[in-house]
Amino acid sequence: MFCASKHIFGRLAPLRGATTLSSTSPTSTSTSSTSTSLRPSFFPSRSLTQSRLFASVKDLYYYNSPSSRKPSSAIISPDDKDFVKIVEVGPRDGLQNEKTIVPLDTKISLIEKLSTTGLRVIEAGSFVAPKWVPQMADSTSILTHLLRSPPPSPQPVTYPFLVPNLKGLESALPHKTPPPPHSGASEISIFASASEGFSLKNLNCDITTSFTRFTPVVKKALENGIKVRGYVSMVISCPYSGDTPPQKVVEVTKKLLDMGCYEVSLGDTTGVGNPYSIDVLMKALIDGGVPVEKLACHFHDTYGQAIVNCMVGLANGVRVFDSSVAGLGGCPYAKGATGNVATEDLVYFLHSVGMKTGVDLEKVSEVGAWISDAIGRKNNSKVGPALLAKRPETSTPASS
Ligand SMILES: CC(C)(COP(=O)([O-])OP(=O)([O-])OC[C@H]1O[C@@H](n2cnc3c(N)ncnc32)[C@H](O)[C@@H]1OP(=O)([O-])[O-])[C@@H](O)C(=O)NCCC(=O)NCCSC(=O)C[C@@](C)(O)CC(=O)[O-]
């Protein structure tokens, strides 16, 4: 049977080298019909990138025979060459922007239900200042619960927590004294910005200061055996600072990797990216020496481009994608930003091109329906409701 990912890798490697984006003059890129968010002024002329992009997409679909497009929800090894890791961010990114505080029991139920779906990474909360993000104030209780009563799951699951500073790290470290005793988080994420404006809004400091604060956090976390993931926000454009130069993303990504992050997730926080701008960014990162296997894509779906942007990430060799069940979410400091790409839609897409996630699409769709109902939100997944609507009426819903 034809292997999709082999050909994506195999054929894209020469493409990357062969295609030179030489027309980089900002003046040559501006036309009256293209808004800045579609083609940021830092970005090169469209035609060369277009041919490269179309070749990548053709690789992804043309060479993937229909026989390989089977749902793959069986438990599979992360070492499988077609494996794509999904980082479920619903309980954190998905809920952090909810105005009404979601009860702790609902958050824990969400994490427990997600744990049964085959997901291997579920971001469970964040140790940030409660006056800034009150919705995440109960994250210590969530960690304590997960450590005391690990959710039953058919596969090993990691539950990372966001940490902005040393005070946040204290909550993630093992506690020997009550209340409450716990043995610590196994993974944290630090979150930087590629734009000064968002850094000031989100972290209350500029990018340089944020790194001064991250340095001791990463050092202490690693000393305590805690893995550290990095985020870069506003990788395409920022509502406060305008378009983000790809080189700035490269610089921030490299800093995060150099300081000890094992993986960096690229946040299109406001979902303004499109296949063109994402492709240019991917090329800048890869050509800039960032190993693609250390990258993850974290795309919000504000403009409905998240799935196609994930396809561009996949075609460039990315094998880690962040998503949120039912497309929950938004960012408290990015006005108008809506949720991440829905996990259900991402899993459907990945399976359709022959990649393996280990995620049971039907089960995760049930969780999406349940949480949307539980918090009174519209389900932003397209696939979940469509799939569940096709089920025979005798099926039992997940909410029972
Ligand atoms: C970074 C700070 C803390 C600076 O906030 P600050 O106000 O500059 O900090 P401070 O050191 O001056 O402290 C102010 C108060 O906060 C407390 N405090 C201070 N730190 C903590 C902590 N860790 N945990 C609990 N409490 C804390 C501290 O104790 C003090 O309490 P007070 O004396 O007033 O009672 C603040 O700006 C903050 O919490 N920011 C987080 C904002 C946030 O969570 N944003 C959303 C997540 S990022 C995101 O969604 C993007 C992402 C990752 O998904 C990727 C993408 O899509 O782009």
Which domains are assigned to the chain?
68-389 (3.20.20.70)
Of all protein residues, whose CA lies closest to atom 41 belonging to ligand 1? 128
Cα separation, 280 vs 266, in Å, equals 13
Task: Indicate if ligand 1 lies below 6 Å from the C-beta of 267.
Answer: yes
Task: Give yes or no for residue 167 CB within 6 A of ligand 1.
Answer: yes
- Res. 71 pLDDT band, cuts 50 70 90: very low
Give, using CA atoms, the residue closest to atom 49 of ligand 1.
331
Residue 342 has pLDDT above 80, yes or no: yes
Of the pLDDT bands very low, low, confident and very high (cuts 50, 70, 90), residue 174 is confident
**Pocket perturbation via mutation, ligand 1, pick of 139, 141, 143, 165 by most ligand atoms within 8 A of CB:** 165
- Is 134 a pocket residue for ligand 1 (Cβ < 6 Å)? no
Using one digit for the tens of pLDDT, what is the confidence trace for 146-162? 999 999 998 999 999 99
| pTM confidence score | 0.86
> In this predicted model, what pLDDT tens digit does every residue of 230-260 receive, in sequence order?
999 999 999 999 999 999 999 999 999 999 9
The whole-number average pLDDT for the span 191-218 is 98
CB of 128 closer than 6 angstroms to any ligand 1 atom: yes
Give me Rg for the CA atoms of the chain.
Answer: 20
Q: Residue 249: name the closest of 15, 30, 42 by CA.
A: 42
What is residue 22's predicted lDDT score, i.e. its pLDDT? 29
| Alpha carbon distance, N-terminus to C-terminus of the chain | 40
Residue type, 73: S
- In this model, does residue 298 exceed pLDDT 90? yes
Q: Among 1-5, 118-122, 222-226, 365-369, whose mean pLDDT is lowest?
A: 1-5
CA of 255 to the centre of ligand 1 (A): 21
- In the predicted model, what is the mean pLDDT of the chain? 84
Ligand 1: residue of 191, 235, 278, 335 to mutate (most ligand atoms within 8 A of CB) is: 191
Ligand 1 pocket member 269 (CB < 6 A) = yes
Q: How many angstroms does the Cα of residue 164 sit away from the middle of ligand 1?
A: 6
- Sign, Cα dihedral of 242, 244, 245, 248: positive
Q: Once rounded to an integer, what is the mean pLDDT over residues 195-221?
A: 98
* pLDDT at position 343: 98
Asked whether residue 33 carries a pLDDT value surpassing 50, the answer given is no
111-to-18, 344, 371 alpha-carbon distances in Å: 45, 16, 10
- Could you tell me the pLDDT band of residue 14, with boundaries at 50, 70 and 90? very low
User: Tell me, what's the ipTM?
Assistant: 0.98
